[in-house]
Amino acid sequence: LVFSDHFPSGRYAHAAALVDYRQSLPTSATVAGPAISQDAGGGLIVAAAGSVSEVTLYARDVRGQLVYRSGDNFKVRLVPRMDGKQPFVGAAVEQQGHVADQGDGTYRVQFTPVVEGSYSLEITDSRGNHIQNSPMRVLAEPGPSITAMCVVTGGGLYRAVCGALAHFSMDTRDGFGNRAQPAEENIKVTLSGPRVDGVKLSVPVSKKRNASDGTWTCAYTTALAGLYKLQILLNGRNVQGSPFFIISEPAALCIERSNCVGEALAGRWHVGNPAKFVITSRDEFGNKLRSGGAEFVVRVMTYMRDGSSQPEVRGKVVDKGDGAYHVTYTPESVGVVALTVNCKEPQGDGTVKYKAVMGSPFELEMNPDYMMPEMCSCTGHGCEGQLVAGDPTEFKILAKDRFGNRLITGGDKFKVEIAGPHGKTIYPEVIDNDDHSGTYTVRYTPVYQGRHELLITATEENPTVKTKHRKARIQHGDPIFVNCIASETLARCCTAVGDGIIGITVARKPATFLVVARDRFGNARPVGGDVFAVEMYAGWPVPIEVTDMGDGTYLVEYTAGDEEDFHGPTSYTISVTLNGDHICGSPFNHTVVPLMTSAPTTEAIDVPSLLTAGEAAEFIIIAKDSDGNVCTRGLDNFRLEFSGLVGRPEDFDSVWGDIKDLKDGKYMVRMVAELSSYYKVLLRITLDGEDIKGSPFTVTVIPSGLFNVGFWNSTFRMVDERAVSKCHLAGLGIEGAVAGERAEFNIVTKQSEGEDIPGHLFAVELRGPEYLTGTVEGPFDGTVYNATYCATVAGVYTVTIKVGRFALPGCPFQVTVRPDATDPSQCKVSGDGTHSCREGEEARFVLRTRDMHGNPSFHPYDVILVTIKGGGRVGRGKNAHFQATEFFGRVRNEGDGSYVVTYVPPFEGAFSMKVEHSVTENGPYTQVAGSPFQLKCDVSAKRKAAQDLAAKNLHYVIDRDKERVEGARLAMRNTTAAAAAQVPQTIVTVQPAAFQDQTKRKTGLAALFGNRRTVARPVINEITTSPTTNSVPPPLAIPQHEDREDAAIFDVPGSLASPPRATNNGIMVLAKSPDKTNRSNEMAPRPVKTGLFGMGFWAPPVVDKVMLDPISGDDHPEMYLAESNQ
């Protein structure tokens, strides 16, 4: 109305609105849609569970005309019906629908049933008035089947019995649990089983739908026991739990299908061996049962080869509980065995029936046991009789079992070796006769005479014993021997042996040889009877006698050399024939010679007893045989051997000789002595190692020329040799002497009155380590002379006593001058062990004993004592202290006047070693030359190497502490004037109370001597001086270096005077403890070789050695400071 004035057309629109403005009537509303069908009861809506169903509601007025306006409030409810098919138990009672106003008088009505069943669809307005045909009937059908909601049940899913029908059921449902009804072709069930011939077994499965509840029932039947795989597919996908694995078990026992297996059923067995086989129980399909409980009976009947039978034997059956039954029985007789295997089967009337298993009864041939070597034997001429060389022979081997039964088959392995004489072995062929008697033929031909041993071994092929392939000799290992004799004699094989035909025969001596009769194989004939013809001639015949010894040998005897035509060695021809044929080697050439030279009868003529040095002497050897006849053939092997009796070795070596064969049985000997002196040698003449008659001979060598025989004395007097020969020597001086002592002996003569010789005409000469002469005084009582000599050099001397040119009887002779008693002052000591050593390492030196004249002495009563005393610092840290010790060296006597001394010092330090000598163990002892020896014991090589390595790192400490040292030096310079007086010694006192604990670092001296524990660090706080004048300078203030851990740093004023000890300038550093002012006795100062004190920290005076005292808690060992001018 408002817009009508302005818009003329507006009234037309208003008029239209007035015409359509009608009120709808709910009872007149209708619904329509494709889901609605008509049935006997009115409208029917068929819906799928879980799917949205939709209808259209048309609003109408009282006249039933459509109303095109919206705004009506319709409600939709889905209510279960009490008639018809009921919803699934547990479903909701009712469901609310959804109404959507389309704005044009129509409404879209939607609802979704989720449970299968019959429902009423109520459509009302806001006041509860139903529309036309409301309520409407709704039938909810199941949705499509879902594999996750399918349920498969039944025993057939897990276990089946062969031959029995196995079942299982399948309930198909949709996504809301409603039982669905899929098409049969959408359900696929497969069952696959064990492999048969490499192909998996497939078993058909039947399926059937139950009309009552809509489930599926499946069934199958297996025939082969084992594991099966069941797969159920719905719409191509596995249902819940698929695939299933089913165990198919065997059916009940089927006796007819049960079988027996084992070697004992192979058709042949051996008596005495336990026969074993296994009964396998099976079901009707041939499956092996997995449990026992059946009662099997095994009967064994043996039928002998002669038609008789043995009593029935029951086999032992053992139920193993797994469907197998082990059967054992032991056959005792050879023949045919009938083996019956039955099983008890109870009948319904209480009786028992026996049924035979598959293949029963079994028939076996029971043969003898396997061949046993020890029971086998042999028979025949080749192993029992006497054989003839060259004749073939044979024997048989009889194979037997362990019970002695002859085997009836061959195939056994025999090996035959025939050991003959001379180490010869025959390997004959063994032939298997294969005659069902177990015999083997052995053929061979012996060719050597003597006993042959038959070594027959067999290989036992018995699989029932552990020693399979065992080898042993037959007949219980008893040796089998046969004897072989030679065949007929053959001349060309006969031999002759003996000295009478081989080598050389001595003339006029009976000679013999043997002719040995042999066959064609060279075997000696054991019997005689052959006629051999023997001839011997050398231009003339020699009588020969041949004797048949009856053992196949013939003795031939002859004597050659007695013939008138025999003149020296002669060659003879010896012919030996048999039936006109020469034996082997005939004719022979044989030499007959005179007798051989005999050493006991051979003589040496004119052997000189006195030989002048430098002049050759000759004599003759006459060769003779054992009968004393002179041998004229020569060629004898005479030898000359010279050995010393009295004199020096070089004198003996100068005597030599030569032999010349004169070819007539005589030999010229020429010998000469080259050195001119007095000595005596022994000449031995041998023939083939045997002395000739009179050998050995004594030859005395004298000097040549008149100047060496005593003619030129101050008072020359011609002496008769006969007078000299009456002298002889006596006394201890001719046996030996002691160096430095005068030795005496007597010269006793048997001169007639008026024939005495003045003593000064005697000359006593001693040649040896030195040349010296003796003196002779006398005569006393007219017949005795007193001779003396004195030697100071020990050794062997050759003594010659002569008068004029004649040496006294027994001269020359040897005397031994022994060393005098050991003189300690002359003993010599050598070796590094006399001045240096190392801790823990063995040191050694050698002591050589001498007498007062310097001769090496080695008396058994000498006693050497080595005593070592000294000390050094031991321990570490608070346990460090000076320790004194004493120990002894070990002395080993070398037996030649030298003694090896060894010792091991226990620790580093300084020691004094005394080397003493005595003649008794209880003393007194006297020190040898140079004793006592001062020893410096250094650290061990291992520690020394560590120190040398750490010393190279000291510069690091110096650089690190340079700033602190400069501060200390500056403070010290302020007090230089006060200390400028005479200060021979500077004392640095250390207060232990100021010590601080600090763990060492591996630098400087700490690195040199290890970081093993926390040590106390000294703090130097003052220096006091000991004056040489009346003025005493005040203490010097020293900066405290509390952070130092490896050394105490202090400075010495540059103007301090040098200490008065020129050889030991230095600073003494001593420590003080709370309870002791000065522990100088306990902590002796020690020189320091390496460290900060020698690195240029100190101003003049020159400090070349610093003595450090051990500080409690410091584990620094002894050190030495290198000399420095800074």
Model confidence over 159-169: pLDDT tens digits? Answer: 999 989 999 99
Per-position b or e across 945-957, b if 16+ CB within 10 A of its CB = ebeeebbeebeeb
Residue 842: which pLDDT band, with cuts at 50, 70 and 90? Answer: very high
- Beta-bridged to residue 319, according to DSSP, are 325
Give the pairing type, strands 813-818 and 836-838: unpaired
Helices (H), 698-822: 721-724
pLDDT tens-digit map of 630-674: 777 778 889 999 998 888 888 889 999 999 988 878 999 999 998
CA 299 to chain centre: 60
Which pair of tokens denotes residue 972? 């010290």
Contact 730, 748 (CB under 8 A): yes
Q: H or E element: which one contains 190?
A: strand 187-196
Residue 113: which pLDDT band, with cuts at 50, 70 and 90? Answer: confident
Say what the pLDDT of residue 515 is: 95
Q: Which amino acid is present at 1029?
A: T
Task: Measure the CA–CA gap between 201 and 655, rounded to whole angstroms.
Answer: 117
Q: Please give the torsion angle defined by the CA atoms of residues 140, 141, 144 and 146, in that order, rounded to the nearest 10 degrees.
A: 80
Place of tokens 């009937």: 137
Q: Give φ, ψ of 955 to 5 degrees.
A: -60, -25
CB atoms closer than 10 angstroms to residue 511: 21
Task: Measure the CA–CA gap between 312 and 892, rounded to whole angstroms.
Answer: 95
CA 976 to chain centre: 77
Task: Measure the CA–CA gap between 812 and 737, rounded to whole angstroms.
Answer: 17
Q: Is the peptide bond between 649 and the residue preceding it cis, with omega within 30 degrees of 0?
A: no
Q: Give φ, ψ of 216 to 5 degrees.
A: -110, 135
Place of tokens 């018995």: 462
SS3 35: coil
Closest C-alpha to 971, from 873, 864, 1077, 1049: 1049
Say what the pLDDT of residue 444 is: 94
Place of tokens 């004959």: 428
Q: Which amino acid is present at 372?
A: M
Which pair of tokens denotes residue 721? 């040799």
Q: Give φ, ψ of 877 to 5 degrees.
A: 65, -135
Task: Measure the CA–CA gap between 970 and 548, rounded to whole angstroms.
Answer: 134
Count CA within 13 A, CB hemisphere, residue 509: 16
Contact 652, 614 (CB under 8 A): no
Contact 824, 927 (CB under 8 A): yes
Give the pLDDT mean for 586-596: 87
Radius of gyration of the chain (CA): 70
Which pair of tokens denotes residue 1003? 């630098």
Q: Would you report the helix, strand and coil content of the chain in percent, each value rounded to 5?
A: 10, 45, 45
pLDDT tens-digit map of 369-404: 778 889 899 999 999 888 999 999 999 999 988 878
Per-position b or e across 153-173, b if 16+ CB within 10 A of its CB = eeebbeebbbbeebebbbbbb
Q: Which amino acid is present at 82?
A: M
Task: Measure the CA–CA gap between 318 and 327, rounded to whole angstroms.
Answer: 6
Say what the pLDDT of residue 949 is: 76
Say what the pLDDT of residue 406 is: 83
Task: Measure the CA–CA gap between 583 and 736, rounded to whole angstroms.
Answer: 75
Compare 1010 and 484 and report the one with higher pLDDT: 484
Q: Is the pLDDT assigned to residue 70 strictly greater than 90?
A: no
Compare 428 and 403 and report the one with higher pLDDT: 428
DSSP conformational letter for 740: T
Which pair of tokens denotes residue 56? 């259209």
Closest C-alpha to 58, from 46, 76, 70: 70
Q: Is the peptide bond between 1101 and the residue preceding it cis, with omega within 30 degrees of 0?
A: yes
Mean pLDDT lowest among 526-530, 962-966, 1027-1031 = 1027-1031
pLDDT tens-digit map of 234-274: 888 888 888 999 999 999 889 888 999 988 887 777 788 78
CA 335 to chain centre: 59
Place of tokens 């006592």: 932
Mean pLDDT lowest among 518-522, 631-635, 714-718 = 714-718
Say what the pLDDT of residue 977 is: 44
Place of tokens 């201890």: 732
Q: Which amino acid is present at 984?
A: P
Count CA within 13 A, CB hemisphere, residue 182: 22
Q: Which amino acid is present at 707?
A: F
Say what the pLDDT of residue 1028 is: 36
Cα–Cα distances in Å, from 1058 out to 553, 976, 1025, 1054, 1063?
120, 14, 13, 10, 11
Task: Measure the CA–CA gap between 818 and 820, rounded to whole angstroms.
Answer: 7
pLDDT tens-digit map of 1028-1074: 333 334 443 334 444 433 333 333 333 333 333 333 333 333 333 33
pTM (predicted TM-score): 0.38
SS3 928: coil
Cα–Cα distances in Å, from 794 out to 741, 815, 825, 978?
11, 11, 18, 74
Q: H or E element: which one contains 763?
A: strand 762-767
Cα-Cα end-to-end distance for the chain = 134
Residue 705: which pLDDT band, with cuts at 50, 70 and 90? Answer: low
Long-range contacts of residues 974-977, Cβ cutoff 8 Å, at least 24 apart:
975/1033, 975/1034, 975/1036, 975/1037, 975/1053, 976/1053, 976/1054, 976/1055, 977/1055
Contact 510, 524 (CB under 8 A): no
Contact 682, 652 (CB under 8 A): no
Closest C-alpha to 809, from 750, 768, 868: 750
Give the pLDDT mean for 766-775: 88
Q: Is the peptide bond between 135 and the residue preceding it cis, with omega within 30 degrees of 0?
A: yes
Task: Measure the CA–CA gap between 201 and 964, rounded to whole angstroms.
Answer: 100
Per-position b or e across 72-87, b if 16+ CB within 10 A of its CB = bebebbbebbeeeeeb
Residue 457: which pLDDT band, with cuts at 50, 70 and 90? Answer: very high
pLDDT tens-digit map of 476-516: 888 899 999 999 999 999 999 999 998 788 887 899 999 99
Residue 989: which pLDDT band, with cuts at 50, 70 and 90? Answer: very low
Contact 1067, 1056 (CB under 8 A): no
DSSP conformational letter for 851: B
Task: Measure the CA–CA gap between 927 and 840, rounded to whole angstroms.
Answer: 26
Which pair of tokens denotes residue 467? 């020693």
pLDDT tens-digit map of 746-758: 998 876 555 677 8
Task: Measure the CA–CA gap between 1010 and 995, rounded to whole angstroms.
Answer: 20
Say what the pLDDT of residue 691 is: 93
Contact 337, 311 (CB under 8 A): no
Q: Is the pLDDT assigned to residue 1097 strictly greater than 50?
A: no
Say what the pLDDT of residue 440 is: 94
Say what the pLDDT of residue 313 is: 86
| DSSP assignments along 250-288, one per residue | P-S--GGG-EEESGGGSSEEETTSPEEEEEE-B-TT-PB
Across 76-85, 174-183, 219-228, which has the greatest mean pLDDT?
219-228
Say what the pLDDT of residue 994 is: 35
